[in-house]
Amino acid sequence: MTATAEAQGGTRPLPPIAAKVDRALVDLDAKVDWLTALSPIHNDALWDAFEASGRRHVPPLEYHPLGTDLHDAREALLALPVEDIESPLLQGLLAEKQRELDRQIELVRLRGTDGFVNASIDLFGGVEPGLKAVAREILETTECAPPPEHDAGIDEVLAAVHDDLTWYRERVPGFSAEVVVDPDMSSLMMVSHGRLYIDDDIRLPMARVQPLVQHEVGTHLVTRHNGGRQALTQLEVGLAHYDPLQEGLGVLSEYLAGFLPAERLRVLAARVIATDMAMHGEGIPAIFAALHDGHGLPTEDAFDIAVRALRGGGLTKDAVYLRGLRELLEYLHEGGAFEPLFAGKFALSHLVVLEQLIDEGWVTPPELMPRYWSNPATDDRLAHCRSIPVSRLCHKEPLQ
């Protein structure tokens, strides 16, 4: 066994051409940072202008300049010798990822143009009628408790994050993550390419800090760590179409960590409605009005969701949170195993292929599980998830 294989948890190395393509795809994935490229900046000023207009107009969204030559990235991507990969199993997975990266490059290239929405639907899908119906059911029937005090800020969140990272490093010294406090984010917290970004103006209830950390660290960073131990390093950055399962696991982790309030579930449902409206040409003011006036979402949530839906010109990714959660619950209802889902970043549809990769010695079981997995209460909470619909997956108050 080579040193590389030993460093990757005992998996056997990929064949030479497959290993070359796999590594090149990982490098290109890092260069084409589509999420950062499509995240608006100066959001506080955007809200101020919206408020000053009587909530009727929003200035054009602004973005960081692109740091990658998209033409060169595409040429390098399409030049990879995918057809020469020695294993048909690996060739299929890596060709699928090559196609997805090509669509991501196209998505970034079309930022701010009329073609963006179609490119986004091609990559992430749209809003199917069944998903829209579930979203409306949640918004119409799920009752929120009185809003708790937002008594946690950046200091409390950073303390929780560093405590979690320390917990993982005590078990696996190689576990690592860069934490970036960002003054200009459209999300409270997010992971991109292994970095954990936190809004420096973050405010939330203290009871929501740990569930949010379990979403970002316990799901996105833990699966990245486990994927990085595999011979197939695509499992570190994500096989094609991995987003629904990742985000479904992230939201489910909030429930298993003890507090997924109705407000949070309503936000996921509102994202579906906002995505559908953006797909059909509605702007931020109309989406804000539908969510705030029509469905009673708080001002800040309604505006944030509306802006997210119009990222790049109409980013449909926000529908994958509720879709992924619903698909994950359906999988659990059928008795699906939970632990294997943390072996890396992949889609539920890859589970059969994952078993083949394990048989070939290219993938091993996860080295780490989320911190909440060590809580004795998790077994009962997970068992409950195997029997309830997504519309009831929420708490009235934090669990002990």
Strand partners, 199: 182
Q: What is the pLDDT of residue 1?
A: 28
Q: What does the pLDDT read at residue 8?
A: 58
Q: What is the pLDDT of residue 147?
A: 72
pLDDT in tens, 222-238: 999 999 999 999 999 99
pLDDT at 134: 96
User: What is residue 9's predicted lDDT score, i.e. its pLDDT?
Assistant: 59
Q: With 0-12 CB in 10 A as exposed, 13-18 as middle and 19+ as buried, what is 118?
A: middle
Say if residue 172's pLDDT is above 70: yes
- Mean pLDDT check: name the lowest of 133-137, 145-149, 171-175, 386-390: 145-149
pLDDT digits (tens, 9 = 90+) for 297-355: 999 999 999 999 999 999 999 999 999 999 999 999 999 999 999 999 999 999 999 99
Calpha distance 350→230 (Å, rounded): 15
Query: What residue segments make up the domains of the chain, in order of their start?
Result: 3-392
Q: What is the 3-class SS of 264-328, one letter each residue?
A: HHHHHHHHHHHHHHHHCCCCHHHHHHHHHHHCCCCHHHHHHHHHHHCHHHCCHHHHHHHHHHHHH
Does residue 221 carry a pLDDT above 80?
A: yes
> Is residue 288 pLDDT above 60, yes or no?
yes
Q: How confident is the model at residue 186 (pLDDT cuts 50, 70, 90)?
A: low
Percent of the chain whose predicted confidence (pLDDT) is above 70: 97
What confidence score (pLDDT) does residue 143 get? Answer: 82
Q: pTM for this one?
A: 0.91
Mean pLDDT of 243-260: 95
Task: Report the alpha-carbon distance of residue 246 to residue 124 in Å, rounded.
Answer: 13
Beta bridge partners of 190: 197
Q: At what angle do helices 243-256 and 262-279 cross, to 10 degrees?
A: 160
> What confidence score (pLDDT) does residue 3 get?
33
Q: Closest Cα partner for 107 from 66, 141, 51?
A: 66
Token pair, residue 378, equals: 């998790």
What is the pLDDT, as a whole number, of residue 66?
85
In this predicted structure, the answer to whether residue 31 has a pLDDT above a threshold of 90 is: no
Residue with token string 């993982």: 168
Q: Is 391 exposed, middle or buried (0-12, 13-18, 19+ CB in 10 A)?
A: middle
